[in-house]
Structure 1
Amino acid sequence: MSLALSPTQIKSLIDLPVYPESVATAAAAVFFLARAEEGKRLGILAAPGSPHMDRFAGERAEKGNLVLALCPLTAANARALRAIFAWLAPVPLGLRTSAGCGDRLGLATPGHIHAARAVPGIAMIFAQQSIRENARTGRTPQDVVDDATWGVFQEGWREGYGADADHLKTTADADSTAAAGYTFFTVDPGDHVDDAAHTAPFAELQAKVAALPWADLDSSVADMQARYLGKTFDLEDLHLTFSEETLFRAAAKYARAVLHAARVYRHLASKITDRPWELEVSVDETNTPTSHEEHLYIASELKRLGVQWISLAPRYVGRFEKGVDYMGDPAMDSPRLSSGQAGQALKEFERSFAGHAAIARAFGPYKLSLHSGSDKFSVYGITARRTHGLVHLKTAGTSYLEALRVTASFDPALFREIMAFAIERYEIDRASYHVSAELAKVPALETLGDADLSGLLDQLVARQVLHVTYGSVLTSERGFKQRLLAGLAAHEEEHYAALEAHFRRHLMPFRSANRKSTRGG
């Protein structure tokens, strides 16, 4: 027997607002999300004796010939709901053009979905958080997946979505995220990249290469030389040859990182045997760019060691700083480039990026991943075009900034407190980020009227100050997090509208580049 009720019928039965897109039926039960005075609740209406009722913890009441359950949004209830509706569980996305939407507050998924519906054809990751972000926000990997689950349920999104365990550095990180149901694992072996090798003299490179753990790499110096020297790698318009120095520099810089990525991959393969999953390898958070030869070396060695991956994030030329558009060569004096400098920087980026895209097609195909991808509007078209759609955009902090923009409009006093606190914390919190904002350039808050506050989110300096201090703000004893969450919940439509508008801009350049999923690297 099936049970069908419209949102209007449900509302009349329970006397609570119902999110209309959330209504879903399973056998003789109707599931929905309602908004009660104490917060959102999972609602279930079913005939007496329905087996579904026993799966969920919550309050029961009789409603005519039906039983109503109103359940808190707990991890156990989210898990039970995913078991009933497969579309609520994260899945791998394959080689489709994709975008990740990190959500540090746990409230943004509906807004992200609104944007995804407005710009269809892009595979979406709605659960994305790094171990560093979890530590700074006080959230767990399970919190991130569950918050995305409730957002997907609220909006009735049935197109599938991914869950990205971002910047995993250890097998312990991999274990905690695998247990939470993630399907996309970004391994960050950056701690094993030898940045000093980028400029080391050849004699030093020889010593570094001789000291590599060759047994663990299942190779030797001679074997490595045989694989690369004396050969030309023809990759579309890119033709690469390795001199001994170029090869030794690549190995000295990246061999240990490749080995660490392989170890984490093998660990994941041994642990996750009950569902499909996919891997990204990221070396973006390093001090020196990845050359084309180094990218080829990384891809070739990963493949030799049996690693299968769906995307890779080299360290690109120029600067992918947090929360602002692409910047050029760090040797330039100012992050605000002249029009001529900006044009030259984009030409250099496109030339370099085109080579990376050719390597990714030849050695996979796999996607190129854009980390710190928020607000890099000037390069989105380049990356979509040059990869032929084999690209993954990764964003995180920009959703938090949009939440602050909305907060400035309905609670300017709270925004002023957060901005002042962020200024206090900036010099400490910036240490683990690549940012160039200088506090002296932040406008004095007392000179700004309430109507001017949201404009701070359009300024490079203020954006970065707010961006990197999110952890301090959200864990402060001053109660910023609780007040933010309460205010955004009370103004959720404004919040969703701001996110939709912002992410339409992010997604639109990638729309025409979408590809059908095929097998990865």
Structure 2
Amino acid sequence: MQLPKFSLGMGDRFAHQAKAQLQACIMAAEAGADITPVWNKSNREHLIIGSEPSQTRAAIDVAVKELGWTKPYFADADHINLKTYERFVAPCDFFTLDVADNIGQKSDENEIAQFVERHPELMGEITIPGIEKPFSLDKAFVEKTAKTFLAAVQEAAAIYKAVVAKKGSEDFVAEISMDETDNPQTPPELLIILAAIADEKLPIQTIAPKFTGRFNKGVDYVGNVAQFEKEFREDIATIAYAVKTYGLPANLKLSVHSGSDKFSIYEPIRKSLKDTGAGVHVKTAGTTWLEELIGLAEAGGDALALAKEVYAEAFAHAEELCAPYSTVIDIKTENLPTPETVNGWTSEQYVRALRHVEGDPQYNPDLRQLLHVGFKVAAKMGNRYIDALEANEEVVARNVTTNLFDRHIKHLFLG
């Protein structure tokens, strides 16, 4: 199973926006960009909402059938490990092998020594097309990098083999995710990681390293954009070199786990892809759950009242909601309006505070991040929330499609 050149990982927490998301991909195709949709939902999200991966797959398949989509599409077992993979095996055909927690774990000293011995080509000056300055690596650096990442690669291999054993075949797409960790991986480290992946005969088609800067949930990139572009281009070049050197899959590409809405790095990504001819997987593109809230607020009446209730509950339970996402949010609590203030807002005020338009003086990134992690509040509402989505399907779907196409796809692939 082959992942095409350009793909977007899209979340749909409540399994009601697959058609609206797919419509954005149809619009992209009409505008000249073939984008493969990959619907992702993590085990943590399923547990919070009380859903099953099979429900996500069913919603996707319905959307594909109703809109007549005949191109590839995937259901992603997002950020799985050996404890969580089994429930995803049957309904999914894309597996994100999350080994960030294994980075830095101690590996067998003999295995590290054998790795270093197997790869003399990693020592000395390495000239990679597309990278201005050759890598100058010595044995100590290769050994140190192997000590840091070898256990993670071995864990990825263990997860992959477990999925194959349950699924009965290797007919799926595999990604290795190393992004949810403290330190970014440098291009020389990425080369050594890819050598280790090749040793394990892992046929991954995407890899998600951690880049410099902050990728907070639902808001723009925080960091040096020029430095990001340099890393991104060098990672593309490193992957191309590793594919030829180690026989990795020819379509292996970078995966950017964006946390959505990283508008300031979209142009550097687009330019890099155009200049190099490389592909990319961007995940997550568009924060669908927030677009649902925006749609409900825009609808007014009872739907707006429900959106205000979601904020009040999120505000009241902010500490609990934020704890699991502490490394990927940065909320200044003093900038959060009180529930009493929000209860007095018009539909327009709520929408403008939440919708990600950087130039709008009413846009509130702190409120947006809190509501991003506040989907647990809507999950606890159960049918009340689902009924509101269904009653206001048209306005909600319009926001989902417009956000994904106008703010994401256009700037990544059509600019």
Query: Does the alignment pair 1:152 with 2:64?
Result: yes
**Which residue of 313, 331, 334 maps to 1:440?**
334
- Specify the alignment match of 1:510 in structure 2: 412
> 1:126, 1:148 within 8 Å by CA — same for their partners in 2?
no
Residue identity matched to 2:90: A
Query: C-alpha root-mean-square deviation of aligned residues, in Å?
Result: 2.2
Shift of 1:300: 0.9
- Specify the alignment match of 1:123 in structure 2: 35
- Specify the alignment match of 1:460 in structure 2: 365
Range 365-374 or range 104-113, more displaced:
365-374
Query: Does the alignment pair 1:346 with 2:225?
Result: yes
Shift of 1:274: 5.2
Identity within the alignment, %: 28
Query: Does the alignment pair 1:430 with 2:340?
Result: no
Shift of 1:267: 2.3
How many residues are treated as equivalent by the alignment? Answer: 384
- Specify the alignment match of 1:133 in structure 2: 45
Distance 1:158 1:109, change over 3 A: same
Secondary structure of 2:86 counterpart:
helix
- Specify the alignment match of 1:264 in structure 2: 159
Distance 1:222 1:323, change over 3 A: closer
Residue identity matched to 2:254: L
Structure 1 runs not aligned, ≥5 long? 1-91, 195-207, 329-344, 514-521
Query: Does the alignment pair 1:485 with 2:386?
Result: yes
Distance 1:113 1:371, change over 3 A: same
> 1:103, 1:396 within 8 Å by CA — same for their partners in 2?
no
**Which residue of 309, 317, 328 maps to 1:417?**
309
- Specify the alignment match of 1:395 in structure 2: 284
**Which residue of 197, 215, 220 maps to 1:325?**
220
- Specify the alignment match of 1:228 in structure 2: 122
Range 402-411 or range 277-286, more displaced:
402-411
Secondary structure of 2:317 counterpart:
helix
**Greater helix content:** 2
Shift of 1:166: 0.8
Q: Give CA-to-partner distance per residue, 1:374-411, whole Å, 9 cap, x none.
A: 11111122223324341001117710000001111232
**Which residue of 88, 102, 118 maps to 2:11?**
102
Residue identity matched to 2:6: T
> 2:176, 2:208 within 8 Å by CA — same for their partners in 1?
yes
Shift of 1:93: 4.7
Query: Does the alignment pair 1:284 with 2:179?
Result: yes
Shift of 1:276: 2.0
Q: Distance in 1 between matches of 2:39 and 2:123?
A: 43
Residue identity matched to 1:270: A
Q: Distance in 1 between matches of 2:43 and 2:117?
A: 37
> 2:295, 2:395 within 8 Å by CA — same for their partners in 1?
yes
Residue identity matched to 1:429: L
Q: Distance in 2 between matches of 1:140 and 1:219?
A: 43
Distance 1:125 1:219, change over 3 A: farther
Q: Distance in 2 between matches of 1:116 and 1:225?
A: 42
> 1:123, 1:161 within 8 Å by CA — same for their partners in 2?
no
Residue identity matched to 2:207: L
Q: Distance in 1 between matches of 2:26 and 2:285?
A: 19
Shift of 1:243: 2.8
Shift of 1:237: 2.0
Q: TM-score scaled by structure 1?
A: 0.69
Q: Distance in 1 between matches of 2:192 and 2:365?
A: 36
> 1:112, 1:500 within 8 Å by CA — same for their partners in 2?
yes
> 2:116, 2:143 within 8 Å by CA — same for their partners in 1?
no
Shift of 1:127: 2.9
Q: Which of these two proteins has the greater Rg computed from alpha carbons?
A: 1
Residue identity matched to 1:500: T
Range 250-259 or range 114-123, more displaced:
114-123
**Which residue of 345, 356, 360 maps to 1:449?**
345
Q: TM-score scaled by structure 2?
A: 0.86
Shift of 1:348: 1.2
- Specify the alignment match of 2:293 in structure 1: 404
Q: Give CA-to-partner distance per residue, 1:259-310, whole Å, 9 cap, x none.
A: 1011112222333335721100010000111111111111111011111111
Q: Distance in 2 between matches of 1:297 and 1:242?
A: 10
Structure 2 runs not aligned, ≥5 long? 244-249, 356-363
